[in-house]
Amino acid sequence: QQPPLHAIKDAPCVTTDGTPILLLGNISGAADLDLVFANGGQGAGLLRTELLFMSKPGFPSEATQYAFYKAAALEAKGKPVTIRTLDVGGDKQLPYFRMEPEQNPFLGYRAIRICLDEWKDIFRTQLRAILRASASGPLSILFPMITNGEELQAAKSLLEAEKQALRREGIAFDEGIETGIMIEVPAAALMADMLAAECNFFSIGTNDLCQYTMAADRMHPKVAALYDPFHPGFLRLVAQVIAAGHAHHIHVGMCGEMAADPRATQLLLGMGLREFSMSAASIPAVKSRVLQTSMEQAVALWQQVQTMRSAQDIIQYLQEKVP
C-alpha cells in the first residue's frame, strides 16, 4: 500500500535506512521551479536552455540570458540549479537559424560540437551570462554531448577565459561554480573513469545514451521496442558510469527519462545513484519508491538483475519484486 502522494511531499527524501536521495526537477526556466518545489523537488538538476533560445527572434543577448539565469537562481532560493549549455541540432532546431539538412542529425552537428566550432562566440556569451548569474545563487554548468576529453578541455578553457575576463573587469561570479558533463554518448560512458578526473559531476542523459547504445532512434515508432533502458547491456553501462564517478569522488546524477521511471528507482539506487532529475510531475512517484526502499534491498535487487539476459525478464522481475 503506497502512502498518498500529498503525504510524502514534505517528508525528508531518505531510504528506510536513512540514505539521503536528491530528487530534482528538469526545467526550462525559473517559472518551472514552483511546480518542482510543490512536488517535493529540491532544486533543478537540468535547466535546458534550448527553449530560451527557441523562444526569441534571434540569439539572445548576454543581458537577456543573464536576466533569465539570474531569475532561475533567485527563484531557487538557495537550492541548486544546473544549467545546461545550448543543446541544439538533432531534434532541436532554432527558428532563426537554418541548419544544413543531414542524413543522420542525431549523429551530426549538434550541441557542444557546434558550440566549440561555428558558434564559439555564442557559447562564450552564454558561459559569461551563466557565470554572472552564479553570483545570485548556487548554479552549476553542464556541457551536453561530450564525446571525448578534448571537447571537455576545450569547453573548460573557454569557461576559464570568461572567468578571467570577469575577474579583470571586477564582475562578481561564484569562484566555486561546478562544471559537469552529460554522459549521453557511449564512448564517454566507457571512458567515464578518465573524464571523472576532469570535471565536478556527471549527469547521465539516458534518452540519448539509450538511443546511441541501442542504435535505435528514440523518436522512431518502429524501433521503439529496441529502445529499452532495461536492456542488460544498457544497465551495465549505466552502472559502470555511476561507479566510475564515485570512484573519483565526483557526484553522479541522472536526468534522462529513466530517472523518472518508478520501475527503475530501486535498481538505480542499488547501482549507487543518489541524484535523480525529472519533470516535476514525476517526482512524487519516484519519491514514494525511495521512501519504501532499503539500500540493502536495492543492492540485492541489482545483483539479481545482473544475472538476467533480457529486458523483458528484468522488467517482469522488477514488477514482481517491486509492485
Using CB under 5 A, which of 151, 208, 261, 275 touches Mg ion?
208
84 is in an annotated binding site: yes
What is the Cα–Cα distance from 304 to 311, expressed in whole angstroms?
13
208 is in an annotated binding site: yes
Using CB under 5 A, which of 50, 184, 257, 275 touches Mg ion?
184
Task: Scan residues 252-271 and list those touching ligand PEP (CB under 6 A).
Answer: 255-256
Task: Scan residues 194-223 and list those touching ligand PEP (CB under 6 A).
Answer: 205-208
- Residues whose CB is less than 8 angstroms from the CB of residue 189 and which lie 6 or more positions away in sequence, other chains included: 183, 204, 209, 213, 237, 238, 240, 241
Q: Is 45 in the site for Mg ion (CB under 5 A)?
A: no
What is the Cα–Cα distance from 51 to 132, expressed in whole angstroms?
20
263 is in an annotated binding site: no
Residue pair 72/26 in contact (Cβ under 8 Å)? The answer is no
Determine how many CB atoms are found less than 10 A away from the CB of residue 307.
9
- Candidates 55-63, 207-215, 269-277, 289-297: pick the segment binding Mg ion (CB under 5 A): 207-215
What is the Cα–Cα distance from 246 to 68, expressed in whole angstroms?
32
Q: Which is nearer to ligand PEP, 218 or 289 (CB)?
A: 218
Min dist CB 320 to ligand PEP, Å, is: 28
48 is in an annotated binding site: yes
Task: Scan residues 47-76 and list those touching ligand PEP (CB under 6 A).
Answer: 48
In the chain, which residue ranges form alpha helices assigned H by DSSP?
5-8, 33-38, 50-54, 62-75, 112-115, 120-133, 149-169, 186-190, 192-196, 206-214, 232-247, 262-271, 283-291, 295-305, 311-321
CA 21 to mean position of chain CA atoms: 15
Provide the 3-class DSSP secondary structure of residue 83.
strand
Q: Is 199 a catalytic residue?
A: no
Q: Which is nearer to Mg ion, 162 or 184 (CB)?
A: 184
184 is in an annotated binding site: yes
Q: Which three cell numbers stand for residue 135?
A: 553570483
Min dist CB 205 to ligand PEP, Å, is: 3
Residue 65 interacting entry, from ligand PEP, Mg ion, none, C-beta within 5 to 8 Å by type:
none
Q: Which is nearer to Mg ion, 188 or 269 (CB)?
A: 188
Residue pair 110/145 in contact (Cβ under 8 Å)? The answer is yes
Q: Is 279 in the site for ligand PEP (CB under 6 A)?
A: no
Catalytic one of 13, 115, 210, 255: 255
Of 316, 315, 266, which Cα lies nearest the Cα of 291? Answer: 266
What is the Cα–Cα distance from 32 to 155, expressed in whole angstroms?
28
Mark residues 13-52: x for contact with ligand PEP by CB under 6 A, - for none.
-----------------------------------x----
Which residues carry a binding-site annotation? 48, 84, 184, 207-208, 218
Catalytic residue annotation: 255
Which residues carry a binding-site annotation for Mg(2+)? 184, 208
Binding stretches for Mg ion (CB under 5 A): 184, 205, 208
Binding stretches for ligand PEP (CB under 6 A): 48, 87, 184, 205-208, 255-256
